[in-house]
Amino acid sequence: MLTIEKNAVQRYLENKLHTRGNEEPICAYVYDLDRLKEHAETIKQSLPPFCRLYYAVKANPERPILETLEPIIDGFEVASQGEMTKLGTLTEKPMLFGGPGKKDQEIRAALQTNVEYLNVESFHELNRMAYIAEQMDVRIPVLIRVNLSTNVSESHIRMSGVPTQFGVDERDIPALITKALGCEHIDIKGFHFHAMSNNLDAEAHLKFIQLCIEKSLYWREEFKLDAPIINVGGGIGINYWDPEQPFDWSVLAEGLHRFHHYYEKENLTLFLEIGRYMTAECGSYLAEVLDVKTNHGEHFAVLRGGSHHLRLPAAWKISHPFEVYPVEDWRYPFERPGIMGDVVTVAGELCTPNDVLVRKEHVQQLRAGDVMIFRFAGAYGWTISHHDFLSHPHPDHVFIKKD
């Protein structure tokens, strides 16, 4: 599977190295759309019939990505009117609208597009939704976003089980349901539990889903709700530390099949809204090494590019997985700086020591003029980065597919 991605990157590099002008260092996002299609289809086909597969647009909202996923998935999770607009001319598939800071205008826009459910994340938001729905004379189908009381995973970013701005404290859910039931224009259709980011443990994810099901069934029973939807969000991880030990999707998929009895008996639908796990692997970020030098006894490589294009490793203070693509051509008449069999920190072109993509990792060889390929850059890569800091030109964005 990786070979396809490598080939796409390789094809781009070979072509670019051949055709570029002498002055232009390589800097690009390269996406393998065939790989994405195949991956999304595998995920979709592995799910039991009571599961709906949504894509969390925030992970990567580039149009070719959305176009590739659109025929495969059941719908999209959006977090802003901007994301709704990006989908506007592309799909009639349903959207789910979540996020802790929805503006009145966004709620109105959601009601005028194919948004199927809106998450309600606080008492004030419920009041605002009810108010807007009354003005527009519509009913709003909502999923109540729960901030669970229990800690749900070992993931280092959690939205639930800890104090955060997301959702309604589990202890306040009965009060929120009571209030929503009193709102003529609000229909409670289920619960939403997105709780973590980058979970690598499939068994832990299954336990979390089981907890979501049990909580939902309890509130359904307690309040006699006709609320069939349980949205367990995303949060499935990429092992940036050890890519050879990925999240075991087959364990998750098999475990979901085992929940079948709940769904037959209780008539439930389970929504997954996956971002990172869907698109991370199809994208690579490529950056040419501009310089290699030694300061205070440590080696540093400096890239054409950096955290303003790929912010994730700087934000998480990790080394991003990489490969070195050796380029034999050397454009100058003087010596080429480089290191052999040594440890290097790889920095970007920004004027801040935080602009680091790789921290003290071993390389066999790294020279100015080589290209570094950062894998798993297809999710939360370009879209979360501060592109215009220092006003360097943006990278190329290349979307490759066979035909």
Question: Residue 265 CB: number of other CB atoms within 10 A?
Answer: 9
Count of residues that interact with ligand PLP, criterion CB under 6 A = 16
Q: Select the residue whose beta carbon is closest to ligand PLP and give its number.
A: 234
306 belongs to the binding site for ligand PLP (CB under 6 A): no
Q: Which of 145, 190, 178, 189 shows the shortest CA–CA distance to 164? A: 145
274 belongs to the binding site for ligand PLP (CB under 6 A): yes
How do strand 27-32 and strand 283-295 relate by DSSP bridges? antiparallel
233 belongs to the binding site for ligand PLP (CB under 6 A): yes
Least separation in angstroms between residue 292's CB and ligand PLP is: 34
Distance CA 239, CA 251 (A): 16
Distance CA 119, CA 124 (A): 13
Distance CA 35, CA 31 (A): 9
Known catalytic residue at 351: yes
Give whichever of 46 and 352 is closer to ligand PLP, judged by the CB atom: 46
Least separation in angstroms between residue 384's CB and ligand PLP is: 10
- Residues 357 and 309: beta-carbon distance below 8 Å: no
CB under 8 Å to 242, separation ≥6 — which residues? none
- In the DSSP assignment, the letter for residue 108 is H
Least separation in angstroms between residue 167's CB and ligand PLP is: 9
Task: Choose which of 190, 275, 283, 338 interacts with ligand PLP (CB under 6 A).
Answer: 275
194 belongs to the binding site for ligand PLP (CB under 6 A): yes
**Among the candidate windows 175-183, 213-221, 271-279, 314-322, which touches ligand PLP by CB under 6 A?**
271-279
Task: Choose which of 30, 35, 60, 98 interacts with ligand PLP (CB under 6 A).
Answer: 98
Task: Choose which of 34, 62, 83, 273 interacts with ligand PLP (CB under 6 A).
Answer: 273
Give the 3-state secondary structure of residue 88. helix
Least separation in angstroms between residue 3's CB and ligand PLP is: 25
Distance CA 58, CA 69 (A): 14
CB under 8 Å to 4, separation ≥6 — which residues? 32, 34, 35, 38
> Which H or E run contains 16?
helix 2-19
Residue with token string 């029973």: 221
Give whichever of 50 and 54 is closer to ligand PLP, judged by the CB atom: 54
348 belongs to the binding site for ligand PLP (CB under 6 A): no
For the segment 235-264, give every residue that binds ligand PLP (CB under 6 A).
Answer: 235-236
Distance CA 75, CA 114 (A): 10
**Among the candidate windows 53-61, 303-311, 319-327, 358-366, which touches ligand PLP by CB under 6 A?**
53-61
Least separation in angstroms between residue 356's CB and ligand PLP is: 23
Least separation in angstroms between residue 199's CB and ligand PLP is: 8
Which residues are part of the catalytic machinery? 351
**What residues make contact with ligand PLP under the rule CB under 6 A?**
56, 58-59, 77, 98, 194, 197, 233-236, 273-277
